[in-house]
Amino acid sequence: MWEAKPPVADPTVALTGAAAPPRRNGELVFGAPWESRLFGVTLALCEAGLFRWEEFRTLLCQEISAWEAQGSAKESWSYYARWQVAFERLLAEKGLCTAFELEACARTLAARPSGHDHADLDGATHPRTR
Amino acid sequence: MSGADRESSDPRDLALRVEALEALLREKGFLDSAQVDAIVRHYEEDVGPLNGAKVVARAWTDTAYRRRLLADGTAAIAELGFGGPQGEYMVVLENTPTVHNVVVCTLCSCYPWPVLGLPPAWYKSPAYRSRIVREPRAVLREMGLELPAEVEVRVWDSSSEVRYLVLPERPAGTEKLSEDELRRLVTRDAMIGVGKVRVGSEASGG
């Protein structure tokens, strides 16, 4: 699982999971665009002073050990999936965003026509992340 | 909190959920997406093991710097312009012919971002985090590092505050190399402690 070295020509192969393909002097920093957005959003909110990193780290550790405690019936390992659950818990605890709001928003986004750039809630356009 | 559906790790569901999260936080005024872009770009393009390699090469070529680095990692690393999140309390561990240091974060993924960038997938994996503590020699062997029995292996678990950087041994035969040439030999794995610096296996560019 920790074969490192050779550069990989096609970085679109098997981008997620513990065996993301390596590239020069290491591996891809993020396995998928959503991972990088999640990381960036988390750090931005921390830098804005909305929580202390240690508060997030504690929840992340809890989510990771909860996953590890599930035994063989668990879903496959995804580090950033655990991060996402921990971050959602933190946002709820801080009163920044509830699970209800998040699910409503995700449903709205899921109802978009697929395959082209979209308008976000505030009208800003971004390339689809997935 | 809602139940089962938020446990899904279907990448499409997660991508959608993260997108929704960012949109909501932006709408509420907590977040500027340009700042998120800048953070992501910074960690994808600007920060990486090259920073740590500069620290190591300096320590190999400048005895006074090496002393400062081992005495106060944070301050000595800041001398080279590196610092920031996850680098606030740096401790540098010196490998010697008799002691080999290796770093892990058993609970999550703590890692010295300013000098190594973000951690590789294997560093975050449950297997590495649990096994390197229990059977370090076996794990290191699987990763290609066979250590003689007389070498003491020390495993360092990153705590909530401390972040570790391993100062690898300078390989024999590099006495004539410049600091810049030495820097190119230093690999990320050597600075985590799961590898050694070897001549002829340059860290490719990055």
Query: What's the pLDDT tens digit per position in B107-147?
Result: 999 999 999 999 999 999 999 999 999 999 999 999 999 99
Task: For residue A45, tell me if it sits in a domain.
Answer: no
Which of B8, B9, B33, B105 is labelled catalytic?
Answer: B105
Kindly report which listed range (A45-54, A68-77, A97-106, B157-166) carries the lowest average pLDDT score: A68-77
Q: Helix-strand-coil percent breakdown of chain B, rounded to 5?
A: 50, 10, 40
DSSP code string of A53-70: HHHHHHHHHHHHHHHHHT
Contact A101 B24 (CB under 8 A): yes
Q: What is the mean pLDDT of chain A?
A: 74
H-type alpha helices, B80-187: 113-116, 121-124, 126-134, 136-142, 179-183
Q: How far are the Cα atoms of A45, A54, A110, B22, B149 from residue A58, in angstroms, in the given order?
A: 16, 6, 31, 22, 37
- CB contacts under 8 A, B 39-98 vs A, are 39-40, 43-44, 48-50, 85-86
Residue A21 gets which letter from DSSP? P
CATH 3.90.330.10 in chain B, residue ranges: 47-192
Average pLDDT, chain B: 91
Domain assignment present for residue A130? The answer is: no
**ipTM of the shown complex:** 0.85
Give B47-192's CATH code, choosing from 1.10.12.10, 3.40.50.2300, 3.90.330.10, 3.40.50.970: 3.90.330.10
Residue B2 has pLDDT above 50, yes or no: no
Q: Which two tokens stand for residue A100?
A: 């209800």
- Give the predicted TM-score (pTM) of the model: 0.81
Question: In three state form, how does the secondary structure of B13-48 look?
Answer: HHHHHHHHHHHHHHHCCCCCHHHHHHHHHHHHHHCC
**In this complex, which of A25, A41, A84 lies closest to B206 when CB atoms are compared?**
A25
Which position among B8, B108, B125, B159 bears the catalytic label? B108
Q: How does pLDDT run across B151-192, given as a tens digit for each residue?
A: 999 999 997 789 999 999 999 999 999 999 999 999 999 999
The pLDDT-based confidence of A111 (bands split at 50, 70, 90) is: confident
Q: A45 and B31 in contact by Cβ < 8 A?
A: yes
A22-58: b or e for each residue (b if 16 or more CB lie within 10 Å)?
Answer: bbebbbbbbbbbbbbbbbbbbbbbbeeebbebeebbb
* Strand, coil or helix: B103: strand
- The answer to whether the Cβ–Cβ distance between A122 and B121 falls below 8 Å is no
Cβ within 8 Å of A, B 101-140: 107-110, 117-118, 120-122, 124-128
Can B110 be counted among the known catalytic residues? yes
Cβ neighbour number for residue B129 with a 10 Å cutoff: 20
Return the DSSP state at A114: S
Q: Which residue has the higher pLDDT, A75 or B48?
A: B48
Considering only residues B17 and A116, tell me which one the structure prediction assigns the higher pLDDT.
Answer: B17
Pairing of strands B90-94, A125-126: unpaired
Are B39 and B85 in contact, with CB atoms under 8 Å apart? no
- Across the interface, which of A48, A54, A80 has its CB nearest the CB of B30? A48
What is the domain extent for residue A66? 52-113
Write down the H helix ranges in A1-130.
33-47, 53-69, 79-93, 99-110
B9 is catalytic: no
**Residue (of B187, B167, B175) closest to B65 by Cα position:** B167
Binning pLDDT at 50, 70 and 90, where does residue A115 land?
A: low
Is the CB of B125 less than 8 angstroms away from the CB of A31?
A: no
Contacts of A113 (CB under 8 A, 6+ apart): none
Measured between beta carbons, the chain A residues lying within 8 angstroms of B127 are 1
Highest mean pLDDT among A28-32, A33-37, A115-119, B41-45: A33-37
Q: Is B162 on the interface with A (CB under 8 A)?
A: no
| Contacts of the segment B129-138: beta carbons below 8 A, 24+ positions apart | B129/B104, B129/B105, B130/B106, B132/B102, B132/B104, B133/B104, B133/B106, B133/B157, B136/B102
Q: Which residues contact A95 (CB under 8 A, 6 or more apart)?
A: none
* Domains contained in chain A, number: 1
Show Cβ contacts of residue A129 under 8 Å, excluding neighbours closer than 6 positions: A33, A34, A37, B15, B18, B19
Q: Is A99 exposed, middle or buried (0-12, 13-18, 19+ CB in 10 A)?
A: middle
Chain A residues with CB under 8 Å of B205 CB are: 24-25
| Number of neighbours of residue B137 by Cβ within 10 angstroms | 15
Q: How far apart are the first and last CA of chain A?
A: 26
